[in-house]
Structure 1
Amino acid sequence: MENWRPLEADHQKIITLYEQSDEEQAQSSDARGYFESSDGKLMPPAVYIFNHENFPTETRKGSSKDVEALRKTFEKLKCPIEVVQNPTFFMVKDTVTKLTRKCFYHLSALVIVILSHGNRKEKILACDDKEYDLDDDILFPLYENETLADKPKILIVQACKGNWKADGNTKRNPSSYIKCYSTTEGFQSYRNETKGSIFIQTLCNAMDQDGPTKDFLSIIEDVNVKVEVQSKSIGWKQKPSVNSNLTERFCFGDFVQNG
């Protein structure tokens, strides 16, 4: 950290910048300059931990141990950490609103950890038993912060995603699926009315070429890169999404008989 400025002489300047209104701070070129390192490197990510532990009718025992482990891990990585303890729905929304306006020019990324109960379709339970949405209430608002543009926004969630129990006897095997989307959640997908969609056309070309020899997950990862590049070349922004929980790689060639 010896290469970082500001030093002691700039301490009051830092305080002044952080005490600016949210709007002033987000647009402050002074803030950007003062928080850049002398060697051009960014500082470690900021970490926010939403620890939903005490609910009206129960306590999520063990959650405090997770907070301890997270603190120890991220402190080793020199990350600034803030724990939001037992947040209600309002506290979650208020904290995220402040994050959308906070200056992150000096940081390399933002990490948000959520410890709570959850349900399907990205639902998280706040400590007042009100649900919030992982995309609509956490991730999507962060896109509005220009100081986080093109920086990783990492969400780590310890929560249920439904009521099914995964065990060796169930037919609902959670380790045997791939979801392939033509675009990322919240964004448009593009289709040419004469040539078809970039995603499907690129997928078919890749399958024609590599289907017999490459596993499907590798193919779809290649497709994602090609779709993103092609989209940018014509002025679109389309980034496919893959959600996979396969324990083994699936290759079509393994099931095609020769001759």
Structure 2
Amino acid sequence: MDFHKLLYTISEALATEDLVALKFLSLEHIPLRKQEGIRDPEALFLALEEKGMMEEDDLSFLKELLFRINRIDLLTDKLSSSREEMERELQIPGRAKVSQFRYLLFQLSENITTDELKSLKFLLIKELPKCKLDNEMTLINVFIEMEKKGLLAEENLEILKTICEKIDKSLLKKIEEYELDRNVEMYITEEPGGQTRVSEGITHVSQEQTTGPFKVRDSLWPSQTASDSPGIQEEIQQPDMYKMSSRPRGICVILNNHDFTKARSEVPKLQNIKDRNGTDADAAALRKVFTKLHFEIAEHKDLTAEQIRHTVHVYRNMDHRDRDCFVCCILSHGDKGIVFGTDGQETSIQELTTSFTGMNCPSLAGKPKVFFIQACQGDTFQKGVHIETDSAELDSSVEADARFQLECIPDEADFLLGMATMKDFVSYRSTTQGTWYIQSLCEHLEKSCPRGEDILSILTAVNREVSRKNDRLNQGKQMPQPSFTLRKKLIFPVN
């Protein structure tokens, strides 16, 4: 069926309450001010199409919307999907485009009774104008007014929880389950002088949540005051995106180890370790792409373990208050849980990443800290049909970077760790063209950032590309593995 004819057919089948729900679930993509003129589903679909959220060859957001409002009949009959398919699809990290917060509010609106809604409005009588609480106001309308007044936000659910506790504890339970799913404990302490210091800890993460190519651990961050938060008007723009407007965006530190002569001469067990030929091609690619993304580049070459720790210490103690992000790229040999300095001594990966937690580096608290690690995590070859590698014993053009474990990301929000390969397996480096992972990463960043794609979508594309490469000698393959505690979408704008 023709794309626009399909949208028209679906819009004809949607009721008024469906349109209200669809508009509410789309607020992160179409601001309230622009929604005021939308009177029918066709207009909403057109607005979403203009935003790039709905295209002829990509109906994923439309499918998600229909699934969220429980119009499974349209999902099945018009889009050839199903409830089960959408449930599987939306479990994939980064795939859902309706925010968890927005969907929580919609679920609450679907589960509240008429009497409970009256009670909720009564309890808000001092907070909202009476005209906003008349009998015609739905709970969705009330939520919108609360957001405008700064009474409700993704990181500010206390007022809503207090009210739900009074009118229906089952509603409160839904909110608590939502918070539990985010695996966050928030601790706010008052510092001398009246300043507020915020730190976060991650609660237990189940085994199901930590398997697969991603570790998904979201977090919350304290809300702005009501005077700072005009609600969901366009000025807020994308509340589920990290701010990325400073110039420079931040510092991109490149720790590039090539010459391991000292390690071979001083550490007996590393007497056969090779120089990392080709690593300069990776460093050059990283410099190029992160310069285009408006980062300040700081490259450090051939550092001993102590020099790596000292360098990280310097950047940890810098004032990053005027920067929106921090990026660190480590190109070196390694082993379980560590990277090698050029002297063959070890430096803990976890020690390096943990240096930038909110407690250790307050000026980066609440901001994304991104680490890309190029090194093997073992010496095992991943077998596959028609696939290539970055290991030491292949041929003259491909070498290995040794190994390290994955338990290197702090249990705190706003970290992204991009690993070249999965635990126990080798990664591949051409001695002339650089590594599969870093070269693919830079290529996709350069191609996808101008299109506004978020970093997790980009890393998924990197996974796909690298996994398709072939080691003709060993029939091996490589699968990169990101892990993260990001709370929002991380997008690197080029403008």
Q: Normalising by structure 1, what TM-score?
A: 0.49
